[in-house]
Structure 1
Amino acid sequence: MAFDLTKYKALSFDIYATLIDWETGIYNALSFLLARLPSTSPKSPLSNPTPSPLSQRKFLLAAFTRHESALQIENPKWTYNKILANVLIRVATELGVTYTEDEAIRFSDSVSSWPAFDDTVEAMQELAKHYKLIVLSNVDHTRFRGTLSGPLNGVHFDAIYTAEDIGSYKPDLGNFEYLIENVHQSFGIQKHEILHVAQSLTHDHVPAKSVGLSPGVWIRRAGGDSAIGGSVKELADRIELGIEFDTLGEMAEAVRDAFKENRNLL
């Protein structure tokens, strides 16, 4: 049976990895640490005779993800800029390379420079014609304002729920419970009328299933071969995906066509 995209009233979105190319943003802002690592170090793909850019990227993003997740669990009340500054410190310490406090601060402020995927703004403008658009993001308001006025300029959200508001970070179930409660209070929209859209399986689709949200939309950025977000094979029994798209642009096209078909049937 075809997935009915027209029966929902609100779309909730992960932002960084789904709308924003955070892997590129993080790597660009953090890769200077690799340049300080001796090529003989066993801690990096740089120690290989012919290191590939892809292996370096995955290595650094894996280190970022590991330390970010740990810090978010240890310090759920910290704002995201403080999390990021401490991620840099931990990654640098793990690699055994030097860093300065100014570099940690610059990295924590780099969020607004992380680029949007090419299809994001146009796709979101199309989706806004059909649904309430809700942010559910592991970020703070200052960082998100920079993203909204920069790479997401032209995108309108009906509500913005951040980790700073909630006091915890996804995949904490409390973030999704907050989403459900506040969407109902603000818009009168029921849980079954919310469709969650995200790239990350670990941070989004696993907890979304746990709180009883409808099967979600998986945006398979990089064909599902992301360095951050988990794998379908490993998480198959913990997720329930309603429909999958390679890009947000593909989703927007499918939504437009589905609503057009519905109108034609009236």
Structure 2
Amino acid sequence: MTIDLADYDALSFDCYGTLIDWEAGIAAVLAPWAAEVGLDLSDEDLLLAYADQEARVEAEHGDWLYSDVLAEAFRGTGEKLGAAVSDTWAARLGGSVPDWPAFGDSTEALRSLAQDYQLIILSNVDHASFAGSAARLKVPFDRVITAQDVKAYKPAPQHFEALDVALEEMGVPRERAAPRRAEPLPRPRAGQAPRPALGLDQPPARASGLGRHARAPGRVLLRPRVPLDDRLRGGGPRRTDVR
């Protein structure tokens, strides 16, 4: 199955797990904490313990800043593992997002895509935390929609409602915008066609599920290591296979 990318004028992306390696960023805080409190656990084990806590806090506190979600999820992780998380450690994870590394090919891929598309971030984050990630990516986005803006965390529908409003303001018809989503897309409203899911292909996720890179049905994968100029602009129509 082939999707013609010339059918789209705008692409929306999640940021964390797609452009920014949040598993590496979170593990960089969890691992030294675990060593300090005497827990002999691998990064994978720590992330597995942490993942459910973050999902729980996001579901219970949609109006919280992501920095506060991280801190509270860390406390819950400590409780789950039987080791206390001090306020200092909780604040360290809460403020760590600007330190999370970008995947090595994210900037190159985004720069190439920006030549043909308007780029939109649609992410479970707050403004201050994303500012640090944006500085790492070094590519301007045409619009940024965060959990702080909509007072909810995906998969809540508020994100996609805000995206529809943004597209209207940008003058982009809904059918000409393809979101990058690994999770299931919300059902279209009556009379609306479903949008395909678009993704930058990154290394496989850990078992924790934090990095949601699963190849969902219908998801288009743009592989940065294959020259995007060749695939999107060079010689022929901008098309890519669904994999």
CA contact (8 A) 2:50 2:73 kept: yes
CA contact (8 A) 1:10 1:189 kept: yes
CA contact (8 A) 1:194 1:213 kept: no
Query: Counterpart in 2 of 1:241?
Result: 218
Deviation at 1:194, TM superposition (A): 1.0
CA contact (8 A) 2:6 2:237 kept: no
Distance (Å, rounded) in 2 between the aligned partners of 1:97 and 1:224:
26
For 1:195, give the aligned amino acid: A
1:103 to 2:103 alignment? no
For 2:150, give the aligned amino acid: I
1:192 to 2:175 alignment? yes
CA contact (8 A) 2:17 2:213 kept: no
**Contiguous gaps of at least 5 residues in structure 2:** 239-243
Aligned runs of 1:46-85 on 2, under 5 Å? 46=41, 56-85=42-71
Residue-by-residue CA offset, 1:67-96 (whole Å, 9 max, x unaligned): 111101100000101101101111111111
Give the one of 168, 172, 184 matched to 2:156: 172
1:215 to 2:201 alignment? no
**Contiguous gaps of at least 5 residues in structure 1:** 40-45, 47-55, 234-238
Residue-by-residue CA offset, 1:103-158 (whole Å, 9 max, x unaligned): 11111000000000010111111111000000101000011112212x22x21100
CA contact (8 A) 1:5 1:255 kept: no
1:222 alignment partner, SS class = coil
1:177 alignment partner, SS class = helix
Give the one of 229, 232, 238 matched to 1:258: 232
Distance (Å, rounded) in 1 between the aligned partners of 2:110 and 2:89:
33
Query: Counterpart in 1 of 2:27?
Result: 27
Query: Counterpart in 1 of 2:80?
Result: 94
For 2:26, give the aligned amino acid: I
Residue-by-residue CA offset, 1:207-254 (whole Å, 9 max, x unaligned): x25245421124442235563256859xxxxx5424234x4x147x34
Query: Counterpart in 1 of 2:145?
Result: 161
Q: What percentage of residue pairs aligned between the two structures are identical? A: 31
For 1:243, give the aligned amino acid: V
Deviation at 1:181, TM superposition (A): 2.0
Looking at both structures, which has the greater relative contact order when contacts are Cα pairs under 8 Å and sequence separation is at least 6? 2
Task: Give the TM-score, by structure 2 length.
Answer: 0.86
Task: Give the TM-score, by structure 1 length.
Answer: 0.79
Which of the pair is proportionally richer in helix?
1
2:154 alignment partner, SS class = coil
Deviation at 1:25, TM superposition (A): 0.6
Give the one of 133, 143, 162 matched to 1:147: 133
1:117 alignment partner, SS class = coil
Distance (Å, rounded) in 1 between the aligned partners of 2:157 and 2:232:
31
For 1:112, give the aligned amino acid: P
Distance (Å, rounded) in 2 between the aligned partners of 1:99 and 1:232:
31
Distance (Å, rounded) in 2 between the aligned partners of 1:191 and 1:2:
20
Greater than 6 Å deviation, 4+ residue runs? none
**Given the superposition, is the C-alpha separation of residues 214 and 16 from structure 1 closer, same or farther in structure 2, using an over 3 Å criterion?**
same
CA contact (8 A) 2:66 2:125 kept: yes
Distance (Å, rounded) in 2 between the aligned partners of 1:255 and 1:197:
19
Number of aligned residue pairs: 232
Aligned runs of 1:101-140 on 2, under 5 Å? 101-140=87-126
